[in-house]
């Protein structure tokens, strides 16, 4: 199992994939920007529905952010065997980038819209910016909390077996990720050629986070074989609940989605803070390799 994990999710593969994604993001950005330029000067003709992807130069930012998001999902899958807390933090990093992409798209729509619709758009934009700040803070808090908590593994019996099970789950999740990505890209491409160039965060992410919730729940159930500490299990359950809220937020448009994103960030941060505070004051620390 370790051999397959290193082959598809190991450090060397990750480094190569990172370079490919950076180059693809640069090429994608310049290509999208060029099409926007050609469309602005009416050198190419696009359908009314498709033109929404190219009617503002800010639209060109959508492509590189989408590529970075695809890479971050891969990074999330890699973190699953290492730490449940780290994987939750990575989820919030992905959602933070997703919200930033939505904000940039909304800014491009405001730039191209008539004045009568700006007020409502700016109201939604302001709330989404608040959600971004909360999500960004949550992602940073999870990253720093990893250093503060430590890595004592005394709370888990048969740690190697547990990590091996999570590596198997990560490989399965990688396969599902590829299937969902290919399906989402192909169906969106077909719609684009048919004249429907609409974009929203539900494309790919709604399906993937549905699968991710199932994976988080499975990890939680597997942990019951090795962990008997209630506070530890309750903390992980709270993290799963925040993931469920994130999934609902992805499917919720406008203000309701931004509020749910904010709620998920506050919930996850509160659960992590409570657990960190408790274990700082207690002599028995939980494992961060669960």
Secondary structure (H, E, C), the chain: CHHHHHHHHCHHHHHHHHHHHHHHHHHHHHHHHHHHHHHHCCCCCCCCCHHHHCCCHHHHHHHHHHHHHHHHHHHHHHHCCCCHHHHHHHHHHHHHHHHHHHHHHHHHHHHHCCHHHHHHHHHHHHHHHHHHHHHHHHHHHHHHHHHHHCCCCCCCCCHHHHHHHHHHHHHHHHHHHHHHHHHHHHHHHHHHHCCCCCCCCCCCHHHHHHHHHHHHHHHHHHHCCCCCCHHHHHHHHHHHHHHHHHHHHHHCCHHHHHHHHHHHHHHHHHHHHHHHHHHHCCCCCCCCCC
Q: What is the pLDDT of residue 254?
A: 85
Query: What's the distance, CA 31 to chain centroid?
Result: 25
121-139 confidence digits (pLDDT tens): 788 889 999 999 999 999 9
149 vs 94, residue with greater confidence: 94
Name the residue ranges covered by the structural domains of the chain. 2-280
User: pLDDT tens for residues 249-268?
Assistant: 999 988 999 999 999 999 99
Name the band, by pLDDT with cuts 50, 70 and 90, for residue 279.
low
Q: Which of the pair, 275 or 10, is modelled with greater confidence?
A: 10
Does residue 272 register a pLDDT over 50?
yes
Which tokens go with 37? 């330029």
pLDDT on residue 258: 95
Q: What is the per-residue pLDDT across 192-202, written as a single tens digit (0 to 9) for each?
A: 777 766 788 99
The yes-or-no verdict on residue 34 having pLDDT over 80 is yes
Axis crossing angle, helix 62-79 with helix 159-193, rounded to the nearest 10: 160
């Amino acid at each position: 199992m370790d051999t397959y994990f290193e082959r598809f999710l190991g450090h060397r593969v990750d480094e190569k994939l990172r370079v490919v994604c950076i180059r693809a993001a640069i090429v994608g950005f310049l290509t999208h920007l060029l099409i926007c330029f050609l469309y602005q000067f009416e050198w190419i003709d696009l359908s009314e529905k498709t033109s929404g992807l190219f009617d503002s130069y800010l639209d060109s930012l959508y492509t590189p952010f989408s590529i970075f998001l695809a890479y971050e999902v891969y990074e999330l899958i890699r973190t699953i065997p290492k730490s449940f807390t780290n994987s939750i933090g990575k989820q919030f990093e992905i959602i933070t980038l997703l919200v930033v992409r939505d904000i940039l798209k909304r800014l491009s729509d405001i730039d191209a819209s008539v004045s009568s619709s700006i007020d409502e758009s700016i109201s939604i934009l302001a709330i989404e910016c608040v959600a971004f700040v909360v999500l960004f803070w949550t992602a940073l808090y999870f990253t720093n909390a990893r250093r503060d908590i430590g890595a004592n593994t005394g709370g888990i019996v048969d740690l190697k077996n547990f990590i091996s099970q999570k590596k198997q789950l990560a490989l399965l999740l990688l396969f599902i990720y590829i299937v969902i990505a290919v399906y989402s890209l192909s169906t969106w491409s077909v719609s684009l050629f048919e004249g429907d160039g609409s974009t929203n965060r539900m494309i790919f992410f709604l399906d993937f986070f549905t699968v991710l919730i199932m994976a988080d729940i499975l990890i939680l159930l597997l942990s019951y074989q090795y962990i008997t500490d209630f506070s530890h299990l309750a903390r992980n359950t709270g993290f799963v609940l925040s993931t469920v809220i994130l999934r609902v937020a992805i499917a919720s448009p406008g203000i309701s989605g931004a509020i749910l994103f904010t709620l998920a960030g506050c919930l996850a941060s509160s659960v992590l803070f409570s657990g960190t505070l408790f274990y700082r004051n207690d002599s028995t620390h939980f494992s961060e390799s669960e």
